[in-house]
Chains A and B, each alone.
Chain A
Amino acid sequence: MTDTVETSTTAPAAAPTTETSTVELPRTREVTLTGGPPPGAAELEAREVGAWFGDRLVLEGVSLRMPAREVTALIGPSGCGKSTFLRILNRMHELVASASLSGEVLLDGQDIYAEGTRAQQVRLRIGMVFQKPNPFPAMSIRDNVLAGLKLAGVRCDDKNALVEQSLERAGLWREVRDRLGSPGGALSGGQQQRLCIARSLAVQPNVLLMDEPCSALDPTSTRRIEQTIAEIGHEVTVVIVTHNMQQAQRVSDHCAFFLAEENEPGRVVEHGPTERIFGSPEDERTHDYVNGRFG
């Protein structure tokens, strides 16, 4: 097992193929969850999404398709509604008291905001990793990984295997396997963030949202997490918000450029395959932004 991890971590981030990640998981496939999300990745599609905080319109007319088993990056300057859009995708937006929204978000064709759909059920299928690492301080590393099961009432037949599988997918297993009982808060910032990724992966979600997961981390941890994204990007749908242009270029298959003009709500200026957005963007503003002329 250690050997396979070795090869996957030393391989260049862009290179791992579907084969390497399946090689890594033969034992883990046996872990079955009951009450968890349906297996496999799911496609997300936003249709004419708009968002308000109080009376202020912050996002307007965003339509975006995030294909299954691919990494979609949301880029753009601060305050253009990327994070708001991301939080709309798993119904975290409605936790803000003054927030409201319009449009619909389809998860494999089903509107997650449809009448009778429970936010809990949606969030179980669409996991989220936050900007600031937030492991539960009252729980050990192991309990942190299993927290999702406990919190969402998902049952699992082999918890030890699930812990190992999740930590391995997040690239943390080798560093913490000797101290699974120590508290999650005792890890370094980069390790904490990978623990949070492991925690999100443990419930085997169909989609994983990441809100600037590397902005609080040093370059080494960032590289490690980018490798993790490249590896899990073949199993689940990943949507990542990033301020780092190079990161978007490195990890994503698709890219959407958000921009808010002065006193205007945020909109998607351009979206498409990452090579096209960075290589030959159609919109002049995209060209300026990806080449570092503003923002």
Chain B
Amino acid sequence: MTATLPRAEAVARRRPLAKRRPASTTPADRLAALGCAVSATLLTWFVMHLLLTSPGWLADLLVAYTLYLGMLYVVTRDRLGRLAAADRIVSTIVVTGALGLLIPLLLLLGYIVVAGAPHLGWGFFTHDMSAVGPTDPVSATGGLHAIVGTLEQTALTLVFVVPLGLLTAIFLNETRSRFRRPVRIMVDAMSGLPSIVAGLFVYAALIIPGIQAGVGLFSYNGLMATFALTMVMLPTVTRTVDVVLRLVPDGLREASLALGASRARTVWSVVLPTARTGVTTAVILGIARVAGETAPLLFTSFGSISMNTNPFSGPQESIPLFVYHYVKQPLSNVQQRGYVGALVLIMLIFALFALARLVGRDRSKRRARRTPNRTAQENR
């Protein structure tokens, strides 16, 4: 008895538990990587610039990267063994790949921001281009007419695409019709349709006969652009929603049917709410695709320098068209108007993304995060 007591005390007095995370990198790892990077850089400089004449920075980069990988492998093998070394090399390559993808994207965004941001003022959002001359300063650029056009055309496209796309996806997934196969093939084929062909089709099939017959609705206006954009967006949304609906477990459909629900009711109350987040994502992707499309607009909405809030009559500007018109002009200050437009387009798409994410966020999940806290407090 007396012998056990001190031992228990010793246990109690033992130092606090040290937390270890075997998967995380240690300072030694980072030091080794840094050392390899420095040696690889120096060795590259020595070989490529002192011994040889370097053909250019890209060659330097390639040599340095290869040397870095080799050194990292050897060093890690000596420290931790062959398996860890292979693991480190593969992780490094994967991270490089991710960076290789991210850097061009950031460069592109950065370029547009640098080119456009200095000239972007409130004026862009308050007036159109009808009173702005070619020699006026870039900060006088007005894009309100283009923003209004893009918003109206995108919204109208959504009005057509969301019901049609959802219904088609539901048809493909929730019915047993024999026509599902041909419809699926058609949707696939349409998603490969070049967007200029969509514009051309609307131009040839609706606008030319419309102008000849003198029907006001079928001439250059926002609605025609919407038709062309619908042809571009519909297959994208349908395919994505189709995939998302397929992910809903069949057990849920059976459970719903076994409760006495009709098939339509099951789709509306069980399948679609379960796939809610995915459906929202599909629509976001469609918006992103459509808001940046230029080709279908070239000979449908035609573009304009003045404000036209009515999408059903008269040529209408939109941001992609705005960029297209000004970037190809000879005067450099007019070209810069195009960069301002591009910046606004990117900002607009980001804003739409954020909005759709907010709307599509899973409500039940948010509730779940709140509820356990509450019950935990009640239990205390």
Question: Which A residues fall within an 8 A CB radius of B?
Answer: 90, 92, 95, 97, 120-121, 123-125, 127-128, 130, 132, 134, 136-140, 147-148, 150-153, 178-179, 181-183, 186, 196, 199-200, 203
Residues of chain A within 8 A of B372, CB atoms compared? 179, 182
Add 17 more A-B contacts to A138-B274, A178-B378, A182-B371 (CB < 8 A): A92-B254, A95-B254, A120-B262, A123-B258, A124-B260, A125-B260, A130-B258, A134-B251, A136-B255, A137-B274, A138-B364, A140-B364, A147-B259, A147-B269, A179-B372, A183-B368, A186-B368
Please give the number of chain B residues whose Cβ is less than 8 angstroms from any Cβ of chain A in the complex.
29
User: Who on chain A is nearest to B379 by CB?
Assistant: A178
8 interchain residue pairs of minimum CB distance: A124-B260, A151-B261, A152-B260, A138-B273, A134-B251, A128-B258, A148-B259, A182-B371
Q: Within the complex, which residue of A123, A124, A136, A178 is in contact with B252, where a contact is CB–CB below 8 Å?
A: A136
Q: Quick one: given A182-B367, A183-B368, are A132 and B258 in contact (CB under 8 Å)? A: no
The complex places the Cα of A140 from the Cα of B265 at a distance, in Å, of: 18
Interface residues of B in 214-273 (CB under 8 A from A): 249, 251-252, 254-262, 265-266, 269-270, 273
Complex contact B364–A139 (CB within 8 A): yes
User: Who on chain A is nearest to B249 by CB?
Assistant: A134
Complex contact B276–A138 (CB within 8 A): yes
User: Who on chain B is nearest to A138 by CB?
Assistant: B273
CB contacts between A and B, total, < 8 Å = 93
Q: Quick one: given A134-B251, A139-B273, are A151 and B371 in contact (CB under 8 Å)? A: no
Beta-carbon contacts of B343-369 to A below 8 Å, as 1s and 0s? 000000000000000000000110110
Complex contact B254–A136 (CB within 8 A): no
In the complex, whether B4 has a CB less than 8 A from a CB of chain A is: no
The complex places the Cα of A182 from the Cα of B368 at a distance, in Å, of: 5
Complex contact A196–B255 (CB within 8 A): yes
User: Who on chain B is nearest to A132 by CB?
Assistant: B251
Q: Within the complex, which residue of B251, B259, B270 is in contact with A152, where a contact is CB–CB below 8 Å?
A: B259
Nearest-neighbour CB distance to chain A for B349, whole angstroms, equals: 28
Q: Quick one: given A150-B269, A183-B367, are A123 and B257 in contact (CB under 8 Å)? A: yes
Complex contact A181–B260 (CB within 8 A): no
Complex contact A151–B364 (CB within 8 A): no
In the complex, whether B176 has a CB less than 8 A from a CB of chain A is: yes
Nearest-neighbour CB distance to chain B for A156, whole angstroms, equals: 14
Complex contact A151–B259 (CB within 8 A): yes
Residues of chain B within 8 A of A134, CB atoms compared? 249, 251-252, 254-255
Residues of chain B within 8 A of A125, CB atoms compared? 260
Complex contact A181–B255 (CB within 8 A): no
The complex places the Cα of A121 from the Cα of B249 at a distance, in Å, of: 24
The complex places the Cα of A120 from the Cα of B254 at a distance, in Å, of: 12
The complex places the Cα of A129 from the Cα of B61 at a distance, in Å, of: 63
Residues of chain B within 8 A of A178, CB atoms compared? 375, 378
Residues of chain B within 8 A of A182, CB atoms compared? 367-368, 371-372
